[in-house]
Amino acid sequence: MLGPHASLSASTMPTLDQPAATPEESSPLASGDAGAGGARPARMPRGLVALLAFACGATVANLYYIQPLLSVIAHDLSVSNGTAGLLVTCAQVGYVAGLVFLVPLGDILERRQLICTILLGTAVALAACAASPDFGALAAALVLVGVLSVVAQILVPLASALAGPQERGQVVGTVMSGLLIGILSARTLSGLVAQLGGWRLVFGLAAGLTVLLSLALAWKLPKADATERVRYRSALLSVITLIAQEPVLRQRMILGALGFGCFSVLWTSIAFLLSSPPYGYDEAVIGLFGLAGAAGALIAPVAGGLTDRGHGRLALAGFLLVLLASWGLLALGKSSLAALIAGIVVMDLGVQGAHISNQAAIYRLHAQARSRLTTAYIVSMFLGGILGSTLSSTLYAADGWTAICVLGAALAAVAILTLAATRRVDAPAAAS
């Protein structure tokens, strides 16, 4: 690709088609994008794809265990519901910091060692959550959990690199499905475990699982060498260069922020709605509502396939319209359980479909910079999530569920208008 890619490719994006230099680099799964050039296997082992999908889901779940526990934590630590809602923001702030400062390392360090080291640090942070004596200690530990949970965003580009060109979309879609299932099932598992043994047990079990996951990945992952030989500071700065030179990336950053803002608006406040009249559910039942959004995971391969066939813009527009429509159902959910569940299903379909469409578009830009493209896109997405969760907890305390639905619908409408206003941006991407 030429045009906006030219100067970046010439200065900081060297080609990956180089001869093998070491036995590790010439191993089948460490070849190509994962390291230096070499023969690529016909298909990536299905067991490894499943492990990567599970790893993504298990690590990103650490961000979401807190959400159905807000009411019980508020009571246990003697804080208001509004203050407890800020714990979601703490985890997301940490996640954004990790995206900025850790994820770019996936392009410049050997990734197997990097991933396993971060996972061990995550386990320590989760154990600190379980042992937190007060709100301040829990908030600080959740920030650290957020910083280190970005390992999921190193695993997704790694899966793309390990897969052959003929199966890359399917592999990434499968791994992303695991990530999405992790996001949604985290609330259910968290609520059930808290009901059985208290909210501290949730984080204790997550710490143990993370240690086991680190050991499994150390055993099964191939050596995945750096895609570029650049200094850490240069890698960070090249994220800014990518943003400046790639209009598709800038467009998808905005849309990702608005979409995840909608997601956070709903899931930050839904625990408050469900724990109050007319529902009055406990944390175990509240956690089960995460299963209603599991349909969003099923749309991941479909969304990626539509983009691969040249229908990315049309699919994205459809997903954003679905997202807008979901808020009408969610508004009715203030007093109707059926409408609330339907709204959750429809909203997650819209959010996740749009997210996969966005990632498919940006991963076509620079194969050797996928971790940094991920940094730019996911940072923007989670900044939208931070804003959404902060506004959500504040608005719910002031005006209740109706205000939450108005806010979510407004964010979805802005996303549709943004796509319409930037329609020319997608033409070069389609050509590439």
pTM listed for this prediction: 0.74
Unique residue bearing structure tokens 């799964």:
29
CA distance 165 to 116: 26
Give the SS3 label for residue 13.
coil
pLDDT for residue 258: 96
Q: What is the tens place of the pLDDT at every residue in 116-134?
A: 999 999 999 999 999 999 9
Q: What is the tens place of the pLDDT at every residue in 270-279?
A: 988 998 889 9
Domain boundaries, the chain: 44-431
Give the SS3 label for residue 167.
coil
Unique residue bearing structure tokens 């109706």:
402
CA distance 16 to 31: 10
What does the block give as tokens for 64? 């979401």
Angle, CA 93 vertex, CA 148 and CA 78 arms, to 5°: 100
pLDDT for residue 245: 92
CA distance 310 to 305: 9
Q: What is the tens place of the pLDDT at every residue in 377-398?
A: 988 987 898 899 889 988 888 8
Q: Comparing C-alpha atoms, which of 382, 362, 364, 383 is closest to residue 373?
A: 362
Class of domain 44-431 (CATH, top level): mainly alpha
